[in-house]
Amino acid sequence: MARQTKPDQGDPPAYQAAPQDWRFALLAVITMGLLHGLLCRLRFLHGDAIVQVPLVLRELDPSFCPRDFFLNAQDSFSPRHYWIILMGWMGRHVALPQLYLALTILSNTLIALVTYFFADRVVNRGRVAPLVACAIVLAIEGIAPGFAAQLHYRVFVPAALGLPLLLLGLWMALEGRFAVATLAAIIASLMHPLMGIVTGFVALASGGLVALSAAVGGAEDRREQWPAVWRAALSGVALALASWLLWFRHYEQNLIGSELFVDILGRLRAPMLYIPSQFFSVRVIDTVLFLVAAGMSLAWYRAERPDRRPLIRGIIIASVIVLLMQLGGYLFVEVWPVRQWAALQASRFMFIPKWFGIVLIAATISRLWDRARDETGESAGAWIMLAAGGRTHGAGLLVGHLATWLTGRYGAAAAPAQRALALGLGFVAAVMLAAWGGHSQETALLAVLLAAALMLLSLRGWRRLGASIAAVGIISAVIAVNAARPLPVIGDGIAEMAPALDMRDWHSDLVGAADYARTHTAGDALFAGPPERPAFRTLARRALVVDFWSIPFSDSGMLEWYERIQACYAPFDLVMEAPLQMDQNWRSVSHERLAVIAREYGADYALLYVETLTDLPVLYEDATFRIVDLAPLR
């Protein structure tokens, strides 16, 4: 057998383009979306939703927490303005936990659907690659150096509804359909202005540069590319105008300079979003390894499909723009602070090369599976890639790519036992990396989604629909039975993956104090409390003086938040450990500080830790918290 250097040589005839069945695509993606919703541990009132839910409750009921500083700051225009209106309208018809579950499943399913058809367009030779891409996108969180590059969501937040449109806009821009890309970005910006506007410009710039390179290069149709260049430019102008009308004209951001802005939002509030030097090194390294693996898949795809060079060029340009943004995110945030660049949150946009990389890697996996009949052992590289998961997803993918490259280059000259040993060691390495990353649930979810997708692929007609209904029904039944009576062996694992919609389960230590506050204090009562307990606001339906996570994004709101944080929880450093320092300070809060809070901000009560020494009247006490009356301090 001749030595092979790439996994894309010698594809069999069965691997050629096949007509796409839209009904199968919809059924397969919806099935995976529903299974994902049942098994990915969707949560209500967790993560960023702790901050978002009270905003919706205020929209539903204007009398909700009437003295809450954070909620009152949203009465002026904010980045959440249109999203709050939409969620308030829907929340009047559906209870929020069920609404959030349905919208999370819907958004993730739409993300998978766009991924499926984009992967089909890129690979264009069968259904396996699109299914693999969907399964990876839904199951594996993967790279996120700054903790905000999701391609699926387990907590419903504004960006969830916008991301399917942004992915569609990226695809359309690379295809030269700039009007569709612009419209998608504008609609997505209503949900999340930062992601919608910036992704829209990245998409238009990438597509426009592809057309420009063809117009000034040696392409045969270079004269036909100039209209596309102008369409991209005009679309950029349209996006800028829409962004100004919808967003920028409403803001007055002239109270905070660049250094103070970086200090408040970056170094104090969210260093894992704004400050690159604070990103976990293992996540940064894994991101680099993922990009190397994706680059190898891109090189193999480019050698196989020279007719797709404009699309490949667009993927490269978009990815390079995002990587340059990461460089700027360091230079113009940490070295020379520039407010506008800090507000960009460049690490968020790593989802763009991440999405492209997953589609290209899925194409490689599909090719390797298809060639299993060649007895070269090359298909083992695909299984190594799929064994990768969690925080070390990029490392495992690179191991699989290296195994594929080495097998293609030296496999023919090696004995079968040597090939088997080498590939076995690669598989073990990938599994160990996945286990070390601590995300075995993601690997299990990936296996379930792939098994369901490939099962549907093997069936025909009504059997597909029956199998889809059966798969979702069986998983739902197992979850319901396990909730009523835990199953042996697998019960704990199922409970850890099932949806968790009761917000009281996530904050059980707050429930007693929150119930007391809700039933024994006036509706307009104002509480001072620990910095990292914003859920009290929703559970108790009572206002808070301030908390660490709930920050307004207007200049006046940020300044007042910073002032209140200092008044309640100082001293603290502008470091990632600042919330822990604040919490420790609150555990030993003095009567003098409580008196200042009561007089300056009108606080009626304080939620203290039970170990906090106090002579104030204790109204409620449990194993974790006590509620004290601040009236004697006024």
Which run of H or E residues covers position 266? none
Joined together, the tokens standing for residue 416 give: 């079968």
Q: Are residues 30 and 172 in the same domain?
A: yes
Does any domain span residue 461? Answer: no
Domain boundary among 391, 409, 428: 391
Q: For tokens 């707050």, name the residue.
A: 510
- CA atoms of 481 and 504, how far apart (whole Å): 21
Evaluate the omega torsion of the peptide bond into residue 571 and state whether it is cis, within 30 degrees of 0.
Answer: yes
For residue 95, give every residue at least 6 positions away whose Cβ sits within 8 Å of its Cβ, in sequence order, or none. none
* Cα angle, residue 544 at apex, residues 255 and 519 outer, rounded to 5°: 160
Does any domain span residue 540? Answer: yes
Domain span holding position 259:
23-391
Domain boundary among 370, 391, 412: 391
Cα 626 to the center of its chain, rounded Å: 36
Q: How many domains does the chain have?
A: 2
Cα 522 to the center of its chain, rounded Å: 38
Does any domain span residue 382? Answer: yes
pTM of the model: 0.92
Does any domain span residue 489? Answer: no
Q: What is the mean pLDDT of each successive set of 10 residues along the chain, which is 634 residues long?
A: 42 43 91 94 84 94 95 84 94 92 95 96 85 93 80 90 96 96 97 96 96 79 80 96 91 83 93 87 86 94 89 96 94 92 92 95 88 59 74 76 78 62 68 63 86 91 92 93 85 84 82 96 96 95 96 91 96 92 96 95 96 95 96 90
Per DSSP bridges, beta strands 618-621 and 625-629 are antiparallel
Q: Are residues 369 and 513 in the same domain?
A: no
State the alpha helices, DSSP H only, in 440-541.
440-458, 462-484, 491-497, 503-506, 508-520, 535-540
Does any domain span residue 494? Answer: no
- CA atoms of 296 and 355, how far apart (whole Å): 15
Does any domain span residue 593? Answer: yes
Does any domain span residue 566? Answer: yes
For 404-434, the pLDDT digits (tens) are: 887 777 665 556 666 666 667 766 766 666 6
Domain boundary among 356, 391, 426: 391
Does any domain span residue 349? Answer: yes
| Maximum alpha-carbon separation in the chain | 89
The answer to whether residues 594 and 485 touch, using CB atoms and an 8 Å cutoff, is: no
Q: Which amino acid is at 6?
A: K
User: Which pLDDT value is given to residue 493?
Assistant: 81
Q: Are residues 377 and 511 in the same domain?
A: no
Task: Select from 120, 127, 133, 130 the least CA-distant residue to 14.
Answer: 127
